[in-house]
Amino acid sequence: MAHESTKSIDGSNETFDAGRRSFLKCTAAAGGGLMLSVWLPASVLASTAEAAKVPAKLGMLVTIEADGTVVIGARGPEIGQGVKTSLPMMIAEEMDADWSRVRVEQLPLGLVPAENPGELTWKYGPQWAGGSTNIPRAWADLRQAGAKVRHLLRTAAAKRWKLAFEATDTRAGRVLGPEGQSFGYGELAADAAKLPLPADDLPLKSADAFRIIGTAQRVVDAEDIVTGRSVYGIDVYEPGMLTAVILRCPHFEGDVESFDATEALKIPGVRQVIKLDGPTGSEPITANLVAGVAVLADDTWSAIKGRRALKVTWKSGGHDTESTTSLDAQCAELLSKSAQVVRKDGDFDAARDVAAKIVEATYRVPYVAHAPMEPPGAFVRIDEDSMRIIASLQMPAGAAAVAQRISGIPRENIEVTMTRSGGGFGRRLSNDFVAEATLLAKASGKPVKLMWTREDDLAHDFFRPFGHHRMVAGIDDAGAITAWMHRLASASKYHRRQNVPPENLWQAELYPDDFPAGIVGNLRMEWAAVQSGMTRGSWRAPAHTANAFVVQSFLDEIAHAAGRDPLALRLALFDHDEWPYGNHGGPVFSPRRLREVTRIAGEKIGWGRKLPDGRGLGIAAHFTFGGYTAHAMEVSVDPSGQPVIHRCICVTDVGRAINPLGLEAQMMGGTIDGLSTALGLEIRIENGQVATRNFPDYPLLRSADAPDVEVHIMESSADPSGAGEMGIPTAAPALANAIFAASGIRLRRMPLRPELERAIKARTEGASGMA
């Protein structure tokens, strides 16, 4: 694992060295963490017999109860990606625990003072969910934590048996002796907790010794989910709290001109009405907030009725002429001329001039929302010198940071409880809802539970950026690609991002080491900034979802223009050695791993076979955050212009699979999310406001229209990557390519369904006119 400093995950002085030895040292200095330092009350130390009755805490992540139950703390926020199961599996593997006797408990945020004054470090290790990083970050550290617990247990058994340490072994929650004797972990835990921890890293298991890693395990709290016992952020209740809803300014970057709360305060149960500043407010943290007026009441319904009774005059933010139509026009203008060059290999212009054939196309990617099933919200209670936050989060350290800046309470005195989240997809990387709840708790002097409605969420999200992509390629007489230009005009997700200069806004939009870098010798990538007042942010697999659609669709166009088979062209292009990859997911990119998932996807879909009339096959492959995924689909188009997906293949290589069942679920979910977004979703703008209100305007894919996703997981000995985002990027281009193969209609503008309907209607009307 590379050593890296993450000093500003959220803009704070928070440091973490990801190297294993340094990680263990820093947690030791902080008073625990994965060092497995021991704390036992005096009553427990009184006697071994008494100690055996009390759960023994071996460090910060593992507790072993007297009956042998192993309780493992899950440090990562659980937003549906399965880390509450997969991270503890790593610890349990190296412990040699009996997984059937493991209980998992969600840990709160752990931040403690570091060695350098004024800085904080992780108590349990990194605690955030984004970029599919939980698994790769934990692969070394959490296994090492489990190995050290196992070492303590073996040492305790050896002492009891008066044997050498090497004479002991473990299996499924028991320490084994050479003559058939054994102790359960519960019998040894109290003694083990008194032993000194090895100072150095321990040898880890070889893969052939794995008994938990690589096995299919159900989500540890699945029963709680399906029986309604799981607690989400939206479920929190505390006696004496007030429930808040906010009427936010509908104008981009607008403000409150004036408001009248007289009628709102007459609603039974309404207690307070509070104005919140927006981007122009004096609080530094308000840079990403929306101005509005909050109603605080005894319950949610009273607060909503009070909000409806408010009379507010809004001040424009200067974006009144912005609309979806104006953004399309702005992009067209920007793409008509050169832009900021962000990568230049060879001489694109010269190669284009001598090409035997030129292929050109323009693609459109709209604004889309995250729309998690559980909208944002947070509970905040501020006491004299401490505070508590309970919420569905992706960036709990960021929640503590924003709360500290508003309340003045030190971050180490802010308790952050992470509930299971009803979806995240990048939305909860932003902690605007925590900031709002903290501002309201501070202003009201009461514990506050802030609620967002679905309409709030769709109108005030941090949206996936809008953009148009102009693609140009040159092909020689043999059908080889000799020149490639990708010019993107988009509204960068780094909108209002502190400390990002204008010349670096492109870095969130184009990843210069992505395909075809290193394969096409004459390559130019350009970016132009689209001006928009919309708030933007990270949407599941950020730029990969847009760029994979464009690049893999365009590659299909090149194949047809060159008279080459789309699968054969990809297999030829991906037949290259690995090379350095400087973007997230590096340090290397292996085209041959991408080639193999592409080949398997083609094999599984039956590429090249004779198809029924009206059906077509499409394929796409992409490298995302360290993982390699390909989709292949068999599609037809009905007379009304509706695509019918008859088969959907997803092949993925994310290194060693920790939990194949969880990985399969992520690929299925990502595929459906990618198809749903590609087919029907767009956030539309009118008069500087979001015009899309609720799910009737934002039609998610229905179950009846969703395909069965056949997932194939590549066996691999490579270190694991994450899996939360790898199933999304190639779903859209594989679908679009299959639609072209089935119908001859090339779709370049998302959402695809209305484009396809218009094309089918025009074709039908044209045929009728000719008749």
Q: Tell me, what's the pLDDT at 243?
A: 98
Q: Given its phi and psi angles, is residue 200 left (phi above 0), alpha (psi -120 to 50 degrees) or beta?
A: beta
- Alpha carbon 457 to its chain's center: 18
Could you report the per-residue pLDDT of 652-682, keeping only the tens digit for each? 999 999 999 999 999 999 999 999 999 999 9
Beta strand 242-248 with 448-451: parallel, antiparallel or unpaired? parallel
Chain position carrying tokens 């972990």: 185
H/E stretch holding 516:
none
Tell me the CB-side half-sphere exposure of residue 766, using CA atoms within 13 A.
Answer: 6
Q: Given its phi and psi angles, is residue 125 left (phi above 0), alpha (psi -120 to 50 degrees) or beta?
A: left
Q: Quote the DSSP letter at residue 427.
A: G
Q: Tell me, what's the pLDDT at 197?
A: 83
Q: Tell me, what's the pLDDT at 60?
A: 84
Q: Tell me, what's the pLDDT at 260?
A: 98
Extended strands (E) in 216-372: 242-248, 255-260, 270-276, 292-297, 311-315, 340-345, 357-365
Q: Tell me, what's the pLDDT at 50?
A: 52
SS3 state of residue 244: strand
Closest CA to 198 of 148, 255, 124, 125: 148
Sign of CA dihedral 687, 546, 753, 560: positive
- Find all residues with CB under 8 Å of 344, minimum gap 6, and list them: 523, 524, 525
Residues (pLDDT < 50) of the chain are 1-49, 51, 281-286
As given in the structure block, the two tokens for residue 62 are: 């593992």
What does the alpha-carbon distance between residue 746 and residue 598 come to, in Å, rounded to a whole number? 21
| Cβ atoms of residues 463 and 369 within 8 Å | yes
What count of residues does the chain have? Answer: 771
What count of other Cβ atoms lies within 10 Å of the Cβ of residue 197? 17
Could you report the per-residue pLDDT of 16-43, keeping only the tens digit for each? 333 333 333 333 333 332 233 332 333 3
Closest CA to 441 of 393, 378, 495, 497: 378
As given in the structure block, the two tokens for residue 410 are: 């030190």
Q: Can you name the residues that pair with 647 across neighbouring β-strands?
A: 634
